Amino acid sequence: MPRLATRHAKVGKRIEAGVPRRQSQLESQAVRTIVIPGTDIETSPIGLGCASLGSRVSAAQGRRMLEAALEGGVTWYDVAPSYGAGRAEDILAPFVAAHRDSLFLCSKVGLAPPRHNGLMRLAYDLGRPLVSVARGLSRRFRSIKATRNRRVALSGDFIEASLASSLRRLGTDRLDVFALHDPDPADLDRDDVLRALERVLARGDARHISMAGSLDAALTAAALPLFTFFQLADDPDGRQLPALRQALDRPAGFVTHSVFGVGGARDRMIRKLKSAPTLAAEAAAAGYGGSPETVATALLMRRAFVVNPDGVVLSSMFSGNHLADNLRLAAEPPDAAAARLAERILSAP
C-alpha cells in the first residue's frame, strides 16, 4: 500500500524549477493522513483535482506541480477522460508510471470533452498566457457553453470500453477508484450498468466503485453495496454529506470538491468581509488576517476539512502558493472553530 512520506524539503526544490514557493510553509509540518472508512486506504486529506490539467494549466506546469504535490505529501489524484480538454490523463501518465505505488488514483466515466475539442485545445493554448495576466478571462471562457463537458449515455459496454481507454492513457493496470461521472439516477437501476461495474471489480481493474455527481444520484447509489465511495460538491449549507451519511448503512469514503465555487461561496465570503468590518475584525481576531481573498480561501478550506473529516477534499493546486497553503492546512487537525466562523460569515445578512 502507498505510504505517506514527509517530503516538504524536496517540495521547495521542486517548486524552484519554475513556480513560486513559500519554503517555510512547505517544510514546517508533515501532511496528516486519514484512513478512508470501510477501506484499507490511508491517504492525505487533500487531493489534487486535475480538471484543468492540459487546459488552463499547461503540461509543463502541470508536471512540475504534480511532482511538488506528491513530494509535499499529497497522495490522492483525481482525473477523468474529459479533463483538460481531453488531455489530463495523457499528461498524468508519466507521473503515474513513476510513482504508481505511492499514490491513489481515481478516474471516471460519463462525461466527454466538448464537441469541437481541437478548437478548444487551440483556444486554451493561445489564451493561457493571457489568462495568467487577466484572471477574469478564465471565468468567462469557462462560462461559454461550447467549452463545457458533455454527458454521455451510459451502457455496460461503454463503461468497460471507457475504463480500458483510461487505463491505457494513464499507463497503469488498475485504478484505486472508478467513478460514474454525473450519472442520471436512473442509470444506477440498470442491470447492464451494475453488471459492468461488478466485472470491473472482479478483474481488478479498479479496487472501488464511486458515484461522482448529484446528491440524488448519491442517495440512489447509497442503497447499492457496490458503491463504496461518493464524490460530491462541497455544500456551503452543510446538507449534502449529512443526508448521505444518514442514508448509508455502511462505512464509505467521501470525496468533496468545488470548495470555493458552489453557490459562489468564496466570492460571497469576500464580499461580506469587504462590506462588514465587524466580520473582518472577528476573522482577524481568530488569526485570519490579510486580504479578504486570503481569509476566505483559508476559512473555506478549513471548513471543508471539518465537514469531511475522514475523507478527501479536492483542490486544483497548480500554483506554488496555492499548494503551499493547502499543505499547511492539511498538516493541521480539523478546526471546528474556523468552520463555525466560516459559516457565520456566509450566513451573515
pTM value surpassing 0.95 = no
Distance CA 312, CA 46 (A): 5
Domain 8-113+149-254 has CATH 3.40.630.30: no
pLDDT in tens, 130-185: 444 444 445 554 554 445 677 788 999 999 999 999 999 999 999 999 999 999 99
Confidence grade of residue 116 (pLDDT, cut at 50, 70, 90): low
pLDDT at 19 over 50: no
Per the CB < 8 A criterion, the answer to whether 4 and 33 are in contact is yes
Per the CB < 8 A criterion, the answer to whether 52 and 316 are in contact is yes
Instruction: Write down the pLDDT at residue 132.
Output: 47
Centre a 10 Å sphere on the Cβ of residue 233 and count the other Cβ atoms it contains. 18
Distance CA 2, CA 9 (A): 20
pLDDT at 290 over 80: yes
Task: Indicate the range of 73-87, 236-250, 328-342 predicted with least confidence.
Answer: 236-250
Q: Domain residue spans in the chain?
A: 8-113+149-254
Instruction: Write down the pLDDT at residue 112.
Output: 79
Vertex 150: Cα angle to 315 and 144 (nearest 5): 75
Distance CA 73, CA 77 (A): 12
Is residue 12 classed as helix, strand or coil in its secondary structure?
helix
Q: What percent of the chain has pLDDT over 70?
A: 82
Residue 180's closest CA among 107, 243, 82, 113?
A: 107
Instruction: Write down the pLDDT at residue 139.
Output: 52
